[in-house]
Amino acid sequence: MSHRGFGWTLGEWQAAYRTDNLQPEALAELLAELSSDDPAWISLATPAQLQAQLDQLAERLAAAGGDLNKLPLYGVPFAIKDNIDAAGWPTTAACPEFAYVAEHDATVVAKLRAAGAILISKTNLDQFATGLVGTRSPYGAVPNSFNADYVSGGSSSGSASSVARGLVVFALGTDTAGSGRVPAGFNNIVGLKPTKGWLSNSGLVPACRTLDCISVFALTVADAQAVANIAGGFDASDAYSRKNPVSAKVGMPAKPRLAVPATPEFFGDAQNQLVFEQALGKLRELGAELVEIDFTPFQQLAEQLYYGSWVAERTVAVEDVDAAHINPVVRGIVENGYKYSACDAYKAEYIRAELSRTINEALAGFDALLVPTSPTIRTLAEMEAEPVLFNSQFGTYTNFTNLADLSALALPAGFREDGLPAGITLIAPAWHDQALAALGRRWQELLALPLGATGRPLPAQAAAPQAPGCIRVAVVGAHLTGMPLNFQLATRDAVLVEQTTSSADYRLYALPGTVPPKPGLARVAEDGAQIIVELWDVPQARFGELVAEIPPPLGIGNLQLADGRWVKGFICEPYALAGARDITSFGGWRAFIASQQG
């Protein structure tokens, strides 16, 4: 591939449009270099479809007054799995006889287009999103992007392959049992499996409607997170869409506490095991504390997905499709659903609820669960010989996730001795997506692996923007790290962002008679100074709890930082400063306390 956009990250596309005079019309050249024979595609944009999108993009830019910042995905090429609707495009779910032309964009596609993204293709998949392999499609098996003798992983095979090879910046997949994670691990890319209900499923052909998640593949965590933040949000047209309660932490502590399976299973794959063990060592380098836990309830819940009545939900999804048109392996799976009764389904739900509670309690006190993305990988020939058994092995560390209402992030972890990639996955309770991304960014920067299968180095990563769902608070005294009231932040899942200083417009006072001792910060018209503060991101729903515990004369107001930013911060009522000791010369509360102890 020679087009200069291949393998670019989101930031590189944005920079090219802003500073290199790249125009969206150049996407026609990129599209012309894509082969319709590539098994990753089911359909490519026609010249007319591309031009219609470019015309819409020009209208959006004009409506934005020419401000590219209002179109964060301006001119960025993307792909979607072909069980997701795009207006005017056929949706096949990898079953030609099922195909229909969509009248409307899926909600997530509409949001991405509104942000300026350009749909280039619809991608191949295991038929009706049933499989973790990438071989169960009449449009052909999608080969691994590093070694064509091996599987790509599925069911979002084409989406992962197109991202790994740098043909699009990002792609949407789906994830019911691991379809948004296994292909990421097999192709050295990032797979963001969001909390159920964060990304709307309106316009998605269901696999298991109660469990399905639209997922995001990208070359970097930063790109996957940015795309999910744009595509996500409550959608009343999706009965399973949920509003984020904004009570979960949005970052990770400097030394995260991670749970790991006590006796991980690799089915004899020593190469995958070695990459995982090396990953454990690298995470310790990042400061992580690794704690072994009993993985039994996770395994028990994973088995429920295909070896219990939950499989009947897949049966419901394809009940109107002629069995003769369904892939034989897929048909064998979905026909098992007819064996179960309504009573079996209720019993299975009780088991799911009990195991889910056990799992979420087991993860309490941890920042995330760390697992291999897949315990092993197989060749296309091996998969043909054992299509069900090996598929089941791939789901060892993925099948339980949606049943237990967890969020997940699949990350590249390095390469095996045979040159194939292997991955790790971070898993946490629902709505911890932003926190997982924060740790994922640190992980990716530590490893600095080449991007996907492009061979391109990881570019310098911009500082992470403030995650949605939190309020950034500047603390100046007893709430600082190690100080007596810091627990009021920690117990509300607040996360330390940085230490910085206020603008030079403040003076700091030691308030008399306060227990524990507290300072008062006051903005002054002249003779101010910069005061050391810590910035903490407090989950939005927990912010009121924090404010309720602040005694007079202190309160929360707006505080200006040295770099000009404004954040919420601790301030003091002016009446309390009369008779208070001016300690501005110490530069911060910690230095003053040290002087008193000395």
DSSP H or E run through 101: strand 100-101
Q: Examine the domain organization and report whether 581 and 440 are in the same domain.
A: no
In a domain, residue 460? The reply is no
At 3, the pLDDT band (50, 70, 90 cuts) reads: low
Number of domains in the chain: 2
Over pLDDT 70: what percentage of the chain? Answer: 99
Q: Examine the domain organization and report whether 505 and 410 are in the same domain.
A: no
Q: Examine the domain organization and report whether 410 and 479 are in the same domain.
A: no
Residue of 155, 200, 215, 502 marked active site: 155
454-474 per-position pLDDT tens digit: 999 999 999 999 999 999 999
Alpha-carbon 15 to chain mean position: 23
Q: Examine the domain organization and report whether 524 and 440 are in the same domain.
A: no
How many helices (H) and strands (E) would you count in the chain? 18, 21
Packing angle, helices 10-19 and 221-231, rounded to 10:
80
In a domain, residue 550? The reply is yes
In a domain, residue 1? The reply is no
In a domain, residue 493? The reply is yes
Do 139 and 42 touch, CB atoms closer than 8 A? yes
| CA quadruple 371, 298, 385, 40: dihedral sign | negative
Q: Examine the domain organization and report whether 434 and 475 are in the same domain.
A: no
Secondary structure letter of residue 114 according to DSSP: H
579-594 per-position pLDDT tens digit: 899 999 999 999 999 9
Secondary structure letter of residue 330 according to DSSP: H
In a domain, residue 46? The reply is yes
| CA quadruple 327, 329, 333, 338: dihedral sign | positive
Residue 567: phi and psi, rounded to 5, are -135, 165
At 300, the pLDDT band (50, 70, 90 cuts) reads: very high
87-134 per-position pLDDT tens digit: 999 999 999 999 999 999 999 999 999 999 999 999 999 999 999 999
Q: Examine the domain organization and report whether 443 and 491 are in the same domain.
A: no
Residue of 43, 81, 121, 152 marked active site: 81
pLDDT at 598: 67
Packing angle, helices 296-307 and 342-363, rounded to 10:
150
Secondary structure letter of residue 480 according to DSSP: S
| Catalytic annotation present for 502 | no
In a domain, residue 459? The reply is no
* Full domain range(s) for residue 382: 10-237+250-447
Q: What is the mean pLDDT of residues 3-20?
A: 90
202-246 per-position pLDDT tens digit: 999 999 999 999 999 999 999 999 999 999 999 999 999 999 999
Q: Examine the domain organization and report whether 76 and 207 are in the same domain.
A: yes
| Catalytic annotation present for 81 | yes
In a domain, residue 4? The reply is no
Statement: residue 538 has pLDDT above 90: yes
Q: Examine the domain organization and report whether 14 and 78 are in the same domain.
A: yes
Beta bridge mates, 412: 423
DSSP H or E run through 50: helix 47-63
Residue of 179, 215, 392, 503 marked active site: 179
pLDDT at 20: 85
Nearest CA-CA partner of 49 in 107, 113, 2, 124: 113
430-455 per-position pLDDT tens digit: 999 999 999 999 999 999 999 999 99
Q: Examine the domain organization and report whether 280 and 416 are in the same domain.
A: yes
Do 406 and 302 touch, CB atoms closer than 8 A? no
Q: Examine the domain organization and report whether 50 and 114 are in the same domain.
A: yes
Q: Examine the domain organization and report whether 399 and 494 are in the same domain.
A: no
Q: Examine the domain organization and report whether 91 and 212 are in the same domain.
A: yes
| Catalytic annotation present for 156 | no
Pairing of strands 77-81, 170-175: parallel
Provide the CATH number for the domain around residue 491: 3.10.490.10
Do 191 and 181 touch, CB atoms closer than 8 A? yes
Provide the CATH number for the domain around residue 280: 3.90.1300.10
In a domain, residue 3? The reply is no
